[in-house]
Amino acid sequence: MRPSGRAPDEMRAISFETGFTKHAEGSCLISCGDTRVLCTASVEERIPPWLRGKGEGWVTGEYSMLPRATHTRGGREAAKGKQSGRTQEIQRLIGRSLRAVVDMKKLGERQITLDCDVLQADGGTRTASISGAWVALRLAINSLMEAGAIKDDPITAQVAAISCGIYNGTPVLDLDYAEDSNADADANFVLIEGGQIAEVQATAEGATYDEEGLLRLLRLANIGCDGIFAAQRAATK
Amino acid sequence: MRPSGRAPDEMRAISFETGFTKHAEGSCLISCGDTRVLCTASVEERIPPWLRGKGEGWVTGEYSMLPRATHTRGGREAAKGKQSGRTQEIQRLIGRSLRAVVDMKKLGERQITLDCDVLQADGGTRTASISGAWVALRLAINSLMEAGAIKDDPITAQVAAISCGIYNGTPVLDLDYAEDSNADADANFVLIEGGQIAEVQATAEGATYDEEGLLRLLRLANIGCDGIFAAQRAATK
Amino acid sequence: MRPSGRAPDEMRAISFETGFTKHAEGSCLISCGDTRVLCTASVEERIPPWLRGKGEGWVTGEYSMLPRATHTRGGREAAKGKQSGRTQEIQRLIGRSLRAVVDMKKLGERQITLDCDVLQADGGTRTASISGAWVALRLAINSLMEAGAIKDDPITAQVAAISCGIYNGTPVLDLDYAEDSNADADANFVLIEGGQIAEVQATAEGATYDEEGLLRLLRLANIGCDGIFAAQRAATK
Amino acid sequence: MRPSGRAPDEMRAISFETGFTKHAEGSCLISCGDTRVLCTASVEERIPPWLRGKGEGWVTGEYSMLPRATHTRGGREAAKGKQSGRTQEIQRLIGRSLRAVVDMKKLGERQITLDCDVLQADGGTRTASISGAWVALRLAINSLMEAGAIKDDPITAQVAAISCGIYNGTPVLDLDYAEDSNADADANFVLIEGGQIAEVQATAEGATYDEEGLLRLLRLANIGCDGIFAAQRAATK
Amino acid sequence: MRPSGRAPDEMRAISFETGFTKHAEGSCLISCGDTRVLCTASVEERIPPWLRGKGEGWVTGEYSMLPRATHTRGGREAAKGKQSGRTQEIQRLIGRSLRAVVDMKKLGERQITLDCDVLQADGGTRTASISGAWVALRLAINSLMEAGAIKDDPITAQVAAISCGIYNGTPVLDLDYAEDSNADADANFVLIEGGQIAEVQATAEGATYDEEGLLRLLRLANIGCDGIFAAQRAATK
Amino acid sequence: MRPSGRAPDEMRAISFETGFTKHAEGSCLISCGDTRVLCTASVEERIPPWLRGKGEGWVTGEYSMLPRATHTRGGREAAKGKQSGRTQEIQRLIGRSLRAVVDMKKLGERQITLDCDVLQADGGTRTASISGAWVALRLAINSLMEAGAIKDDPITAQVAAISCGIYNGTPVLDLDYAEDSNADADANFVLIEGGQIAEVQATAEGATYDEEGLLRLLRLANIGCDGIFAAQRAATK
């Protein structure tokens, strides 16, 4: 029995509030249950030094939690003077995941930064960030294409992410905080429409799992991401 | 003529969306025109070392802008490894302003941190932060009093803040970004209900001003803060 | 009754020892009672990146206290690895105050850095820094003009600063440490010769004050700055 | 055809030189082909603050590359003043992997730090670090048990790690640098003797892969880790 | 021929202005020609953690240059966020040199920090810092003894320092900046009254030197320190 | 009697394992008794900004201890976010010592970085670093000359370093950790073949010493360095 009463393969309600902020070229507030992340896509006509002169663009991600996004207040990373290992790990994942679906030649010599700021956390903030970042990116690319700055769509596919885990011995989809903090195993899947895997990060905590367990989690993730893909399409139509 | 078409003594629409996040003891999203700041009040049962054993509490503030709160993306302070002088100046101001209306003995040995995170900026983020922080603080104190943790209300008065400036030679109330970046003089007033001044920060940029100019700005600020006081009362009733 | 026995509108003895160090283009040791600040003006033939190609110069300020300038030793900021919020706030104020009286076109594409290092502190170090920095700047500009590097004097006026406060209910001029640490309200005024205001930073501590109180402090500040203007003229003649 | 001429399921030669340094409670130099990592286990009779009083121990990992472990010299992280996101990600992985096979109650209130310093890199430094850290840990625990400081063996199983990837369309085991920098997909598996998974980190680069591809990589990893488990046993007998 | 016209064994004029600042327990401004260093001794009734409970005290040194102590302005270390290797090297030297003449048991469980802040530099700032720090320390200890806090004098001897070098092939005493920047070899000697050596730091720059050369520099240093010892005694009588 | 049973003028066994790592242009593992330092020379075709356009090269050194090189584990400097004063002092010494024997014109516009990473420490790590760095440099220059990148040998002489000290009243050569931590005086000598001195750093700890003592230590150092020079020649033939 899950704390939320959800079925093992039941995802939380997901929604995208697009245009949440007015300055960014693309933005949305993604809600996955009580987890809420503000995702913005910022287009800059400059690229990192090591890419200059190659006719290619770049996509990168940044991630942060507001100090009181969580049950108890966490220290502000800007005040501590450095980003935690967890933050860096997550923002590297966001960047890699979105780059997996962008054709850098078609993007041209510009950089898009995907800022994912968690306003409220209830489990699954990194996966919500990826799913929301795709929407922000889609909207930013749309506006670049409408303005004639880009001709061919550089986005090759949708990308979405979801967590799965083994809770009380049962594989379940889309862990919330109550499950996440007690799960035996926790896996984040970044999937691409059409059944391709962009990234798997599966960690045993407490108990370990075997090939069979990994496959069952992957299949749950496919179910979840199909739902997110549909919601992304609805939000960006 | 103001860019927004407002009268010189006309403030932008102000609203407080209370309970914007669920974990904080008190929270609101304050909107002053297009400026939107998420203010949370976090109660912790610990105090700074230099206050221990005095039977008093502490109130402090922190401030940050999301990277794309602004027209062009700004670097993330956590990534740079330090907070800017501007950020530190503002969060010191927020803390002082709120402490001016709290009786630390009645608060008891606990600390309340007021986090002000700017989701969208259009001028006046520091003053909106103060006005919103008071609402978050009021809600947090209310819940402490309902829970019986505090007996006597430690809040002694309302506090609110507003910017005024001299734009094209005319003193105007509540500068938005278009005015702020072209004003001859810029002043932030932190006022306490009943006509008292908690803080004045008035800076001449380009032109200077004299005693008469300062008084006219102060009187505009009184008009503005009266409006904010009413909105704060409505939001926390 | 003030701890020093001074009348409410009586300033401490002020003096400028010009040429205190030999390498700087302009330098002075300002003494305001027991507060002593070494102010140097350094001319560099380079400007910040964002000013390049505009034909304008720049004036900036830096501030620091020697560790044992104070009653008890304070940690060295270089050893801590960062400047405090207070330090940054003060050096931003010094820069703004001096820029208010410099014509950047006439200065030409060069930067002048005003270093204010407090050798001994007894209240009012930030205001003494501003008054002393003006003298150092005046001397540096004089030498540039004598050398023919600048034709038209870029300094448009004198600027000076003084603190005022409400001590035991009475508005007083030029707080020393004994008063500063017990004042009900504390205000720093940066004034320009001829009665113009460059900056006001007024903070209520403990008690608040009203329009009338602010005006009385401003008038005291005018008395004080008139004295400083005369001393600056004598020192730089 | 692999650059090294190895068969797709052929691992590089692996060896452990135990007792490589004399001060550490356990140490080894692991060589996986030309990748060489010095792993030391340091026992300290203290635990992190959040574990105090629980009667449990802690195991943590640290990772670094010497500046010239790589083809071109990389900057020293100590000189830059911070550890990269990659370094932090890897050391978090090392810690989690080893904790998966330690019973913290049996370890008792002490901390073991596994330092993994890469002397020479040729692909697979993070997985070699994990396999080598287990040997260093085993030796350190042995000496604690011989000294009577620990009664029951806190190590519950062997843990080892290996990378696999898709190179030129073929799944291959144990990528070296020449393969790693051109692989379509790259996966690191941390496995526990008996067929259990501790961690999977699989990333598509360039091409993505599907369920079938993930399974084939996992099976290669099982082959590789069986070889490492045997070598670990031989080294620590 | 030396740029200053001094004889090879002729030191610059040296003077100590004691009591230069009023808050420190001991202070002096040492002038060696145009090199001027403000030295303060601060007594604190606390010791470093690793000394607790041993009944011993501690003496430590800190060193800094004001940004415009030099011919061209140097960046402020507090603004850069770290102390240079040169600064750290010098302050470690100051601490070791003074500790060589203090009996820590007689000092008792207190720490004395010797802050050496260079107001103006013209070569030999580190050696002037040591010679001046001894005077500040002597004055601070005197006041502790007068107050009855210490019974037996913990200072066992005088310590002083001077630089020597080989300039145009000739060994010379007390290098000024013009010589220092062109010397073939540069050596700093920290000597104790009675002919004992506390520290030698001799570096060949450009040319090297041999045993004979080192001895000749040491003998010059003895001449110089005898003069400083006399000046220290006169200043602290 | 020395703890190791060595005669006062007896050095520990010294050996150089050249080519210890394969990527560096020159490398060796130097062993001085149980002290082992990995020294690599990295050639880069770029020079520091202040040298550009002068037709000269640069040689610099970096130093670090692995965390468990020592008896008890030391914190990792990269994790602390800064290099200690000791580390900076040592790496400055390594750079100066090697530059003393390199003709920068003959080296041409390239930089060689000498990384000295201590794998195991038993006293004398800084001197071993210098002696080993010379071997790594020699090997790197050899390969540059063989490749025809450099015509005339820029190395003007051998350089080596050794520590001496006064232990139980007797001058002894090549202190190990047991002696170093109890010595009355400790001196590091950097010598150049042919009897020239590159650097002396002599510190009295506990007891001081006089001219005679310094000379006796220097003579021991000459004995030791003669042995190191021979070993260096054998290793690089």
Q: What is the pLDDT of residue A125?
A: 98
Q: What are phi and psi of D139, to 5 degrees?
A: -65, -40
Per-residue pLDDT band for F88 (boundaries 50, 70, 90) equals very high
Contact F139, F47 (CB under 8 A): no
C-alpha A47/C-alpha C38 separation (Å) is 45
Q: Is the pLDDT of residue F236 over 80?
A: yes
Question: Which tokens hold the place of D116?
Answer: 């993994």
Contact F27 D70 (CB under 8 A): no
Contact B100 C204 (CB under 8 A): yes
Q: What is the pLDDT of residue C1?
A: 85
- pLDDT (mean) for C88-97: 96
Contact F172, F220 (CB under 8 A): yes
Per-residue pLDDT band for C101 (boundaries 50, 70, 90) equals very high
Q: State the DSSP string of A95-123.
A: HHHHHTTB-HHHH-S-EEEEEEEEEE-SS
Q: What is the pLDDT of residue C206?
A: 66
- Residue A162's alpha-carbon distances to A176, A213, B79, in angstroms, are 11, 16, 26
Per-residue pLDDT band for F206 (boundaries 50, 70, 90) equals low
Q: What is the pLDDT of residue A68?
A: 98
* Strand pairing report for A185-192 and B14-18: unpaired
Which residues from chain D sit within 8 angstroms of residue A200, using beta carbons?
187, 200-202, 214
DSSP SS3 for C107: helix
Classify burial at C86, counting beta carbons within 10 Å of its beta carbon; exposed 0-12, middle 13-18, buried 19 or more.
middle
Contact E82 F82 (CB under 8 A): yes
Mean pLDDT taken over chain B: 95
CATH superfamily, domain at B14-236: GHMP Kinase, N-terminal domain (3.30.230.70)
- pLDDT (mean) for D46-71: 95
List subunits contacting chain A, requiring 3 or more Cβ pairs under 8 Å: B, D
- Over residues A34-75, the pLDDT tens digits come to 999 999 999 999 999 999 989 999 999 999 999 999 999 999
CA proximity to D213, closest of A192, A92, A126: A192
Which residues from chain D sit within 8 angstroms of residue F115, using beta carbons?
66-68, 73, 76
C-alpha F228/C-alpha F222 separation (Å) is 10
Residue D228, beta-bridge partner list: none
Model ipTM value: 0.95
Q: What is the pLDDT of residue C60?
A: 98
Contact E164, E174 (CB under 8 A): yes
Tokens 């006169």 identify what position? Answer: E234
Which residues from chain E sit within 8 angstroms of residue C85, using beta carbons?
none
List subunits contacting chain E, requiring 3 or more Cβ pairs under 8 Å: C, F
Contact A196 D209 (CB under 8 A): yes
Nearest beta carbon to residue C113 from set E73, E80, E113: E73
The set of residues, in sequence order, having a beta carbon less than 8 Å from that of D172 and lying 6+ positions away, is: D2, D6, D8, D9, D164, D165, D166, D179, D220
Interface test with A, best of D101, D197, D223 (most A CBs within 10 A): D197
Looking at residue A197, its amino acid is I
Which residues from chain E sit within 8 angstroms of residue F187, using beta carbons?
200
CA proximity to C131, closest of C23, C221, C49, C54: C221
C-alpha C101/C-alpha C194 separation (Å) is 12
CA proximity to E32, closest of E63, E10, E65: E10
Q: Is E216 left (phi over 0), alpha (psi -120 to 50) or beta?
A: alpha
Question: Which tokens hold the place of A32?
Answer: 């996955």
Contact F62 D79 (CB under 8 A): yes
C-alpha E60/C-alpha E115 separation (Å) is 9
Which residues from chain D sit within 8 angstroms of residue A84, using beta carbons?
88
Percentage above 90 pLDDT, chain E? 87
The set of residues, in sequence order, having a beta carbon less than 8 Å from that of B160 and lying 6+ positions away, is: B130, B131, B134, B190, B191, B193, B225, B228, B229, B232
Residue F125, marked binder: yes
Residues in chain C whose beta carbon is closer than 8 A to a beta carbon of chain B?
A: 82, 84-86, 88-89, 91-92, 96, 100, 187, 192, 195-204, 208-211, 213-215, 218
Contact A85 D85 (CB under 8 A): yes
List subunits contacting chain B, requiring 3 or more Cβ pairs under 8 Å: A, C
Q: What is the pLDDT of residue C200?
A: 95
Contact D128, D75 (CB under 8 A): no
Residue F167, beta-bridge partner list: F170
Residue E86, marked binder: yes
Which residues from chain E sit within 8 angstroms of residue F202, using beta carbons?
197, 199-201
| E-state strands within chain B | 14-18, 26-32, 35-44, 58-65, 111-120, 159-167, 170-173, 185-192, 196-204
Q: Is the pLDDT of residue A206 over 70?
A: no
Chain B: give the shortest CA distance to residue A39, in Å. 10
C-alpha E122/C-alpha E137 separation (Å) is 24
Residue B125, marked binder: yes
| pTM reported for the whole predicted model | 0.91
Q: Where are the alpha helices (DSSP H) in chain A?
A: 77-80, 85-99, 104-107, 125-146, 177-180, 211-236
Residue A56, beta-bridge partner list: none
Mean pLDDT taken over chain D: 95
Q: What is the pLDDT of residue D206?
A: 66
Chain B's closest residue to C82, CA to CA, is B82
Contact A12, A23 (CB under 8 A): no
C-alpha B113/C-alpha B42 separation (Å) is 5
Contact A61, A133 (CB under 8 A): yes
C-alpha D62/C-alpha D50 separation (Å) is 19
- Over residues D109-141, the pLDDT tens digits come to 999 999 999 999 999 999 999 999 999 999 999
Percentage above 70 pLDDT, chain F? 98
Residues in chain E whose beta carbon is closer than 8 A to a beta carbon of chain C?
A: 21-24, 27, 34, 38, 40, 42, 44, 62, 64, 66-71, 73, 76-83, 87, 113, 115, 117, 119-121
* Strand pairing report for F196-204 and F111-120: unpaired
Mean pLDDT taken over chain A: 95
Annotated binding site of A for phosphate: 86, 124-126
Which residues from chain E sit within 8 angstroms of residue F85, using beta carbons?
83, 85, 88-89, 91-92
Annotated binding site of A: 86, 124-126
Classify burial at D34, counting beta carbons within 10 Å of its beta carbon; exposed 0-12, middle 13-18, buried 19 or more.
middle
Contact D64 F82 (CB under 8 A): no
C-alpha A101/C-alpha A157 separation (Å) is 5
Chain B: give the shortest CA distance to residue C236, in Å. 24
CA proximity to A206, closest of A174, A181, A177, A171: A181
Q: Is the pLDDT of residue E149 over 80?
A: yes
DSSP B175: -
DSSP D19: T
- pLDDT (mean) for B100-123: 97
Q: Is the pLDDT of residue E103 over 70?
A: yes
Helices H, strands E: what count in chain E?
6, 9
Q: What are phi and psi of C179, to 5 degrees?
A: -80, -45
CA proximity to C56, closest of C112, C135, C137, C95: C112
Contact E89 F88 (CB under 8 A): yes
Residue E124, marked binder: yes
Contact E53, E166 (CB under 8 A): no
Q: What is the pLDDT of residue E143?
A: 96
Contact D164, D220 (CB under 8 A): yes
Per-residue pLDDT band for E92 (boundaries 50, 70, 90) equals very high
DSSP A172: E
Q: Which of C34-48, E119-133, E150-164, E206-220 has the lowest mean pLDDT?
A: E206-220
Contact E165, E180 (CB under 8 A): yes
Contact C210 B195 (CB under 8 A): yes
Q: What's the order of all strands across the beta sheet hosting D26-32?
A: D14-18, D26-32, D35-44, D111-120, D58-65
Contact D197 A209 (CB under 8 A): yes
DSSP B49: G
Question: Which tokens hold the place of A184?
Answer: 């035996």
Element spanning C135, H or E: helix C125-146
Residues in chain D whose beta carbon is closer than 8 A to a beta carbon of chain F?
A: 21-24, 27, 34, 38, 40, 42, 44, 62, 64, 66-71, 73, 76-83, 87, 113, 115, 117, 119-121
Q: Is the pLDDT of residue D183 over 90?
A: no
Interface test with E, best of F72, F83, F200 (most E CBs within 10 A): F200
Q: What is the interface size between A and B, counted as CB pairs within 8 Å?
A: 90
CA proximity to D20, closest of F23, F130, F66: F66
- Over residues C154-204, the pLDDT tens digits come to 999 999 999 999 998 899 999 999 998 888 888 999 999 988 999 999 998
- pLDDT (mean) for F50-74: 96
Q: Is the pLDDT of residue B207 over 80?
A: no
C-alpha D68/C-alpha D56 separation (Å) is 39
Q: Is the pLDDT of residue B182 over 90?
A: no
Q: What is the pLDDT of residue D136?
A: 98
Contact B85 C100 (CB under 8 A): no
The set of residues, in sequence order, having a beta carbon less than 8 Å from that of A91 and lying 6+ positions away, is: A61, A62, A63, A116, D85
Element spanning A203, H or E: strand A196-204
Contact B82 A82 (CB under 8 A): no
